[in-house]
Amino acid sequence: MTDPSVSRRGALRTLALSVALVGGLTPLQNPAAFAAAPETYTLTIHHLDRSGRPTGDHETTVTGISGAGADEVVRLHDASGTTTVRLPEGRYLLDSSLTPGDGSAGTDWIVQPRLNLDRDTTVTVDARTAAPVDVRPPDRSAGFLHSGMFVRVTHGGTERLLNRIFASPQLRVAHLGPAAESGSVKQWFDSYWTAGSAGYALGYVFTGTRALTGLTRHPSADELATVRIRAAARPGGTEAGSVDLQPSAGPTVGVTQRLTPPGTATHFVTPGRGTWDITYTAPGAPGAPSNRYAADGVVVRAGATTTHTFDNAVFGPVLTDRPGVVRDGDELAVDVPLLADGDGHVPSAPAYAAASTRLYRDGVLVATRTGSPGRARFTLPPGRATYRVTSTVRRGGAPGTATGVTASWTFVSDTTAGIAPVPVSVVRFSPVLDTAGTAAADTTLRVPVTVLGAAAHGRTRSLDVSVSTDGGASWTRLPVERGAVTVRNPRADTGVSLRAELTDTEGRTLAQTVVDAYRTR
């Protein structure tokens, strides 16, 4: 079910952490600087395997944190098992991976978060001190994919990060040396498993004075949260998309899964790892840019199911966490995604045939911009005026793919002294549809209506919603009752269009139309 590769965003985040490790020189990164250092000391490291014998099967890194060697990164290896290096006085972080033979017996990762080099010092890295990392899902048939462990050490306002990615579940870890300062060692562990049609993402975070020595976690099914990811079918589509899942916080490694729409990916995750990020990459036409949707900071709760449906109707405008319209002096910027999917996910590269945004000042058309849906910039005449901004996008395809979306806002605006948001609103239509964006014909359908932006939270003076079953040629007004309208669906294979017209309490207006919002089956 799951591709064992690291998720793309997780890989980039991990790569950033790896720079310090792979950029080090052997034996010294900057010998010229050391020549001028007033004090240097010899660090000798002995490496012992699980039987207590010296071993050359190690990879050891010494990273400076503070003092004269704060910027030093040294990677050490010697087939004899003993390495020696001379370093400036200072505080260091040491980590060593001991992986005997072909790696089939696993890895011992030993971390010393506090290494004070103020005299000649000898350190022994002993694999016998490591204890197993025993983290596994409740389904004993689940297969291991990969895991990642990350350590952040903070001292004197400086942070240093370590990371290791493991392709085997046979991992053992140990703390080495004295304890560090309270709260200065933070450690993350994420592991990924697959069991038939479901995956497990088990992540844990620890903060204290020491690196982990062993880790045992066997979460029960009721201790996990369920994340269900649904990919909607697109007309004529047969190719597979992909889903990335990873924790939102901290350094991490994620998981990538192929998903052919219509389809569902189910993952069981640990709530204690915090929120989770989902990226869905929809299959596209050959040569077309990938169209990605993201749901970041997804809140999960043990025993509960959270569902995100991607690339499904009703498509339409949405306001994100940044202002949709902004005025800066006499420059006006419009950025309102017009083709967010039914769950409000914004596509990175939606397919469309044509898009334009028109600007009217006191009822007179002054400029038109074409290009990206819902995005435009205009230079305005100085002073106060009434403006109307109308953004339109047209798409081909069958009904239910939002063949046309228009949002038109009116507002009064004056020259500003700096960047100032212009309050605007949008309306979201959220009927329950199948993953083909359809609803049953010849039945009634409840369509929730949600106001976002300036007119939200009781700031709506008036709201009218209408429906059309002839592509917008004629409209029938529907009463809005308890936050929804009820649509009498027409015969099968008919597109249903929706329109909203509102005025907020400050007199600003919105006229919004989605032609072929969904279709009947």
Give Cβ neighbours of residue 492 (< 8 Å, ≥ 6 apart).
Answer: 441, 442, 520, 521
Q: How confident is the model at residue 290 (pLDDT cuts 50, 70, 90)?
A: confident
Q: Which CATH architecture has domain 8-217?
A: Sandwich (2.60)
CB 154 within 8 A of CB 184: yes
Task: Give the tens place of pLDDT for each residue, 337-377.
Answer: 999 999 999 999 998 999 999 999 999 999 999 999 999 99
Average pLDDT of the segment spanning 253-267 = 95
The CATH topology of domain 223-310 is Immunoglobulin-like (2.60.40)
Q: Closest Cα partner for 271 from 243, 299, 252?
A: 299
Contacts of 9 (CB under 8 A, 6+ apart): 244, 246, 254, 277, 279
Q: Are 455 and 510 in contact (CB under 8 A)?
A: yes
Please determine whether the domains at 8-217 and 223-310 fall in the same fold group of CATH. Answer: yes
Decide: 41 and 87 in contact? Cβ < 8 Å: yes
Q: Give tens-digit pLDDT for 141-161.
A: 999 999 999 999 999 999 999
Look at the block and give the residue holding tokens 């949002």.
407
Cis peptide before 314 (omega within 30 of 0): yes
Using alpha carbons, list the distances in angstroms from residue 432 to 313, 343, 435: 9, 11, 10
Inter-CA distances, 404 with 297, 337, 391, 393, Å: 31, 14, 11, 6
Contact residues for 353 (Cβ-Cβ < 8 A; gap 6+): 394, 395, 396
| Nearest of 160, 161, 132 to residue 147 by alpha carbon | 132
Domain residue limits, the chain: 8-217, 223-310, 325-520
Percent of the chain with pLDDT strictly greater than 90? 86
Binned at pLDDT 50, 70 and 90, residue 1 comes out as very low
40 pLDDT more than 50: yes
Share of the chain above pLDDT 70, in %: 91
Q: What is the pTM of this model?
A: 0.87
**Are 463 and 450 contacting, i.e. CB atoms less than 8 angstroms apart?**
no
Average per-residue pLDDT in the chain?
A: 92
Peptide bond into 262 cis (omega under 30): yes
Averaged pLDDT, 190-210: 96
pLDDT score for 320: 92
